[in-house]
Amino acid sequence: MEGSRPVTGIDDLPVRDELRGKSPYGAPQLDVPVRLNTNENPYPLPDPLVERIAERVREAARDLNRYPDRDAVQLRTELAGYLTRTGGHHVGIENVWAANGSNEVIQQLLQTFGGPGRSAIGFEPSYSMHALIARGTGTGWISGPRSADFTIDVEASVKAIAENRPDVVFITTPNNPTGSAVPPETVLALYEAAQAAKPSMVVVDEAYIEFSHGKSLLPLLEGRQNLVISRTMSKAFGAAGLRLGYLAAASAVVDAVQLVRLPYHLSAVTQATALAALEHTDTLLGYVEQLKDERDRLVTELRAAGYEVTDSDANFVQFGRFEGEGAAHAVWQKILDRGVLVRDNGVPGWLRVSTGTPDENDAFLDAVRAIKKERNA
């Protein structure tokens, strides 16, 4: 074609400047016997739930000639019921919104409250998608501080909010990749600072809250219109493949995200599958209790083996400390050589392991004990 030239790669395309030279997000996947690197729930869905999903999807299939319920009324009603039962705070359908994974919830929030000329702050290390979704939505990103022990330093964070006046503040509790929950007093202090500075939206990412020793921050929604709690069915419900995230907030926030959501964004198949999973909440939360015990065992055994471990309220554990440049990655490789894949999130000196089945955790513990012995020998 006249005037055209062969396209050889992304750099030959007129992509946005801020995307140039960047790589897509994704944990490296390797085909090894034990994969404990992506914070998934290791238990496959139980047979009765698989049957129920098939039934519900079969029913939904008849109507696939039609668009799905755009407002996901039944699903949001059930999610509101789940939050009310387990979160210590009444939540109605008008307070709940759902999307394809909490990543999409976060994207919709940033499309609504961030965007070009606006900014968001997160306290790092934390869930790196917050920064990436900010970039994707044209929202400026501010990397906020964290203490050496990975807790949020209230004074320094309040100062960062006052100085930068971000439009969106992310607080991840329990935090990924460090594992610890954020005390409610800290969230309240940051919320007050954010209101005084702008006012801005505060998004509390509770993706792992069901694994916490403590409680959900859902009751903090009372009287706080600019607070959002984001949740997912990817972790506690063991349904990462389903892609279902949701938020709870004042009804005005739910109305606001309607301005950016794509029509019919949640397929009828997704809605049917999520409803089936919610019918089996009690069974799935039973697995969570087993995983919490195993998580606590990982913490205890890692410490007994001589590793440092950050307190964990999540389904994963951050362990170290590996001194020297590249030391954490070298240990990551040694663990991999023993058939176990963990995650090097790039936090200097630390690695992260997701809680697996008891056998998978044993394989991991055998590997790290052996590595420790080698180093001490």
Ligand X SMILES: Cc1ncc(COP(=O)(O)O)c(C=O)c1O
- How buried is residue 326: exposed, middle or buried, by Cβ count under 10 Å (0-12/13-18/19+)? exposed
Residues within window 235-254 making contact with ligand X, judged by CB under 6 A: 240, 245
Dihedral in degrees, nearest 10, Cα atoms 278, 280, 284, 286? 130
240 in Cβ contact with 41 (< 8 Å): yes
The interface region with ligand X, picked from 99-107, 143-151, 215-223, 305-313 by CB under 6 A, is 99-107
The interface region with ligand X, picked from 14-22, 97-105, 141-149, 249-257 by CB under 6 A, is 97-105
Query: Which CB, 112 or 175, lies closer to ligand X?
Result: 175
Query: Which CB, 234 or 310, lies closer to ligand X?
Result: 234
Residues within window 101-140 making contact with ligand X, judged by CB under 6 A: 101-103, 127
User: What is the end-to-end Cα distance of the chain in Å, rounded?
Assistant: 68
Query: Which CB, 102 or 111, lies closer to ligand X?
Result: 102
State yes or no: residue 176 binds ligand X (CB under 6 A).
Answer: yes
State yes or no: residue 173 binds ligand X (CB under 6 A).
Answer: no
Question: Residue from 107, 232, 271, 355 that binds ligand X (CB under 6 A)?
Answer: 232
Nearest in space to 84 (alpha carbons), one of 216, 211, 203 = 216
Mark 192-231 with x for binding to ligand X (rule: CB under 6 A) and - for no binding: -------------x-x------------------------
The interface region with ligand X, picked from 98-106, 112-120, 214-222, 255-263 by CB under 6 A, is 98-106
At closest approach, how far in Å is the CB of 179 from ligand X? 11
Nearest in space to 39 (alpha carbons), one of 319, 376, 314 = 314
Q: Are strands 308-309 and 316-320 parallel, antiparallel or unpaired?
A: antiparallel
At closest approach, how far in Å is the CB of 100 from ligand X? 8
70 in Cβ contact with 263 (< 8 Å): yes
Helix (H, G, I), strand (E, B) or coil at 350: strand
Q: Could you tell me how far CA 63 lies from the centroid of its own chain?
A: 32
Q: How far apart, in whole angstroms, are the C-alpha atoms of residue 307 and residue 321?
A: 7
At closest approach, how far in Å is the CB of 304 from ligand X? 27
Structure tokens at 337: 């050589």
Query: Which CB, 204 or 335, lies closer to ligand X?
Result: 204
At closest approach, how far in Å is the CB of 56 from ligand X? 20
Q: How far apart, in whole angstroms, are the C-alpha atoms of residue 322 and residue 158?
A: 31
Residues within window 259-318 making contact with ligand X, judged by CB under 6 A: none
Query: Which CB, 161 or 229, lies closer to ligand X?
Result: 229
Burial 260-291, CB ≥16 within 10 A → b, else e: ebeeeebebbbbbbbbbbbebbeebeebbeeb
State yes or no: residue 166 binds ligand X (CB under 6 A).
Answer: no
Binding-site size, ligand X (CB under 6 A) = 13
The interface region with ligand X, picked from 1-9, 28-36, 95-103, 363-371 by CB under 6 A, is 95-103
Mark 3-32 with x for binding to ligand X (rule: CB under 6 A) and - for no binding: ------------------------------
Nearest in space to 256 (alpha carbons), one of 71, 73, 70, 108 = 108
Query: Which CB, 166 or 245, lies closer to ligand X?
Result: 245
Query: Which CB, 113 or 127, lies closer to ligand X?
Result: 127
Q: Largest Cα–Cα distance in the chain?
A: 70
126 in Cβ contact with 172 (< 8 Å): yes
Residues that bind ligand X (CB under 6 A): 39, 101-103, 127, 172, 176, 205, 207, 232, 234, 240, 245
